Structure 1
Amino acid sequence: MPVPVRVAAGAVGAAIGGLTYATMIERNAFTLRHTTMSVLEPGATPLRVLHISDLHMMPNQRLKQAWVSELEALEPDLVVNTGDNLAHPAAVPAVVQSLGGLLSRPGLFVFGGNDYFGPRPRNPFDYFDPDHERIFGDPLPWQDLRAAFTERGWLDATHTTREIEVNGVRVAAAGVDDPHIERDRYETVAGRPNPLAHLRLGLTHSPEPRVLDRFADDGYDLVMAGHTHGGQLCVPLFGALVTNCNIDRSRVKGVSNWGSRMKLHVSAGLGTSPFAPYRFCCRPEATLLTLTPVSHGDADFDEAASVPPLAAETPS
């Protein structure tokens, strides 16, 4: 076989192998990430927060549902869900059953665009333009999902302020609707949060700078977001190719600083669009954050603890 033909055949084989891995293996290699952040007021009790985002649940995704249901064993003090739970109009029961006992724990949530509208096929090059035209799919039953969450005790933080006390820690929280589809109305929560709170927490689905700047200006300690999927397709030694929003690639997942004192945590999420069912060098994740009091000399760390993947499921 001539050398050019062998090279071409090798390239095709590598591409097929990579696509098979990204579609069948890595997108099911669910990971629990552990992160410690010093953001609480001095003297506060440490707080364990489970951050879940971007489930993009389909009714038949049994492996994802089983893995998510095991998160209850972590016994977090607080659960934060930053949206895009749905990918199918019949997926609400699967989401609720998967979250299981977590819904009985204190929780806060905001929704993303894929709670309101179903996914649609997209030109993959659109993701390189964060301001590309939004194309909405069929409406999803977000009202049913919201009712299921709130009936179990979770608090909707969308365009409102909430104050809860968890494990002796007073949390002042506020959230906005999804900035990615321009549903955010920060003016509804604008202003400085309760200065007596041990933690001032902001929630948004998409970590758009215009929203993060407002939270930082108002004195929030931490903002939690999702949406980016960690880039979903990453290149070794380079990282994410895109963020699908206006933050830079260095902030596409994990912890970063925003402004002089606010922290940002972006979840790489647990799912994908059914029309793009692959991940590469970017495993699906949930994050258990241990929030500790601020003191001199504290340093954050972000360490992933891999949970063995369950058997691969076929793309849906």
Structure 2
Amino acid sequence: MSAPLSVAPRRAGTGRARGQRLVVGALVAALVLLLGAGWLLWDNRRLVVTEQAVEVAATPEGGLRIAHVSDLHAADHGDFQDRLAAEIEQRDVDLVALTGDLIDMRTTELGPVLDLAEHLSAVAPTFFVLGNHEGDSALREELLAGLEDAGVTILRDEVTRLEIRGTEVTVAGLEDRRVAVVDGRTPAQPAAVLDRLALESAPGPTVLLAHRPEFLAQYADRGADVILSGHAHGGQVRLPLIGPLFAPHQGWFPALTEGVHRQGDTAMVISRGLGNSVVGVRVNNPRELVVVDLLQESPQG
């Protein structure tokens, strides 16, 4: 006959202690999630200003300062556009470059964007090129008419010149290839357009506005001293020790998402952009206004 089973009595308070640990763990997890969400919201709403210096021959006396505004996507949360305009106004810029995707393909109201454009054109000569989202927008023609009324110069595979402190400055602009696709035309290669514009003959510094940075090889060494681009949104998510995660038309771990990149005699300055589109959240990648200083080239020696 087997001996009866001996069952140790449950220690008093064991179940209660386990429940308390679960509650504490849940509270800690909730706090971490709350802090993470708060940081993400703050990081997506803040505006950083990045200054980039590029040496260029024959710049005007004192250099040439450009406010590079890219990929706004009609962002208008709170006072964001007012803060953006104030930052540009206090920087004493010579030019404002709007390098595409000023609106989003889903934008239905142009008023805030056109008010911003009018404000900026009162600060300094302002130039605009179409991005891929303007190409897909039903409001494209209305936007272009509104920008012209606001005093903005629109460059559609065109070049213009102006004088700044006694130096002739050339500004050229390429419209995004998406515009041609939507209109039923075959997009021209950027290199072919630039060859037609013959920027090499410009006597002073030449600035090229071109939305997409992935065509750097076609832009380079065709007469532009500096190219201003955006489109990549900084890679949308920027991972510590790794960098940008993904950019349209470049794919995973893209190379051209921010900063200054050189090829031959050409420098490209890429903005991380000021708004969001299909992917509505940035991670470790705040909205960026880029201020570009073109400085007199140092003598070689």
Output the TM-score relative to the length of structure 2.
0.78
Asked whether the equivalents of residues 221 and 262 of structure 1 are also in contact (C-alpha less than 8 Å), the reply is yes
Asked whether the equivalents of residues 51 and 81 of structure 1 are also in contact (C-alpha less than 8 Å), the reply is yes
- Among 82, 106, 113, the residue aligned to 2:132: 113
Q: Which amino acid aligns with 1:277?
A: G
1:167-246 paired onto structure 2 within 5 Å: 167-179=165-177, 184-185=187-188, 186=190, 187-191=192-196, 192-209=198-215, 212-246=216-250
Asked whether the equivalents of residues 232 and 282 of structure 1 are also in contact (C-alpha less than 8 Å), the reply is yes
1:25 paired with 2:28, answer no
Distance in 2, Cα, partners of 1:151 & 1:167: 26
1:140 paired with 2:138, answer yes
Q: Which amino acid aligns with 1:288?
A: V
Asked whether the equivalents of residues 174 and 202 of structure 1 are also in contact (C-alpha less than 8 Å), the reply is yes
Q: By how many angstroms is 1:18 displaced?
A: 3.5
1:276 paired with 2:279, answer yes
Distance in 2, Cα, partners of 1:145 & 1:238: 38
- Give the secondary-structure state (helix, strand or coil) at the position aligned to 1:98: helix
Match of 1:295 in 2: 298
- After superposition, the Cα gap between the structure-2 partners of 1:167 and 1:243, relative to the gap in structure 1 and judged at 3 Å, is farther
Gapped runs of 5+ residues in structure 2? 1-17, 182-186
Q: Which amino acid aligns with 1:169?
A: T
Q: By how many angstroms is 1:213 displaced?
A: 2.4
Distance in 2, Cα, partners of 1:42 & 1:51: 18
Match of 1:76 in 2: 93
Q: By how many angstroms is 1:173 displaced?
A: 2.5
Q: By how many angstroms is 1:270 displaced?
A: 0.7
Distance in 2, Cα, partners of 1:55 & 1:26: 16
Q: By how many angstroms is 1:219 displaced?
A: 2.5
Match of 1:262 in 2: 266
Q: Which amino acid aligns with 2:224?
A: Y
Output the TM-score relative to the length of structure 1.
0.74
Range that drifts further, 242-251 or 171-180: 242-251
Match of 2:9 in 1: none
Distance in 1, Cα, partners of 2:172 & 2:59: 22
Asked whether the equivalents of residues 221 and 265 of structure 2 are also in contact (C-alpha less than 8 Å), the reply is no
- Aligned-residue sequence identity (percent) comes to 24
Range that drifts further, 220-229 or 184-193: 184-193
Q: Which amino acid aligns with 1:34?
A: E
Cα distance per residue 1:157-203 (max 9 Å; x no partner): 22112222233332223222214677552334424315343212222
Distance in 1, Cα, partners of 2:27 & 2:272: 34
CA RMSD of aligned residues (A): 3.1
1:86-125 paired onto structure 2 within 5 Å: 86-87=103-104, 88-104=106-122, 105-117=124-136
Distance in 2, Cα, partners of 1:29 & 1:276: 17
Range that drifts further, 260-269 or 5-14: 5-14
- Among 50, 56, 61, the residue aligned to 2:73: 56
Distance in 1, Cα, partners of 2:226 & 2:175: 17
Q: By how many angstroms is 1:43 displaced?
A: 6.9
- After superposition, the Cα gap between the structure-2 partners of 1:15 and 1:245, relative to the gap in structure 1 and judged at 3 Å, is farther
- Among 249, 252, 259, the residue aligned to 2:257: 252
Gapped runs of 5+ residues in structure 1? 118-138, 299-316
Cα distance per residue 1:231-279 (max 9 Å; x no partner): 121111211111223397343101111x221100111111112x43221
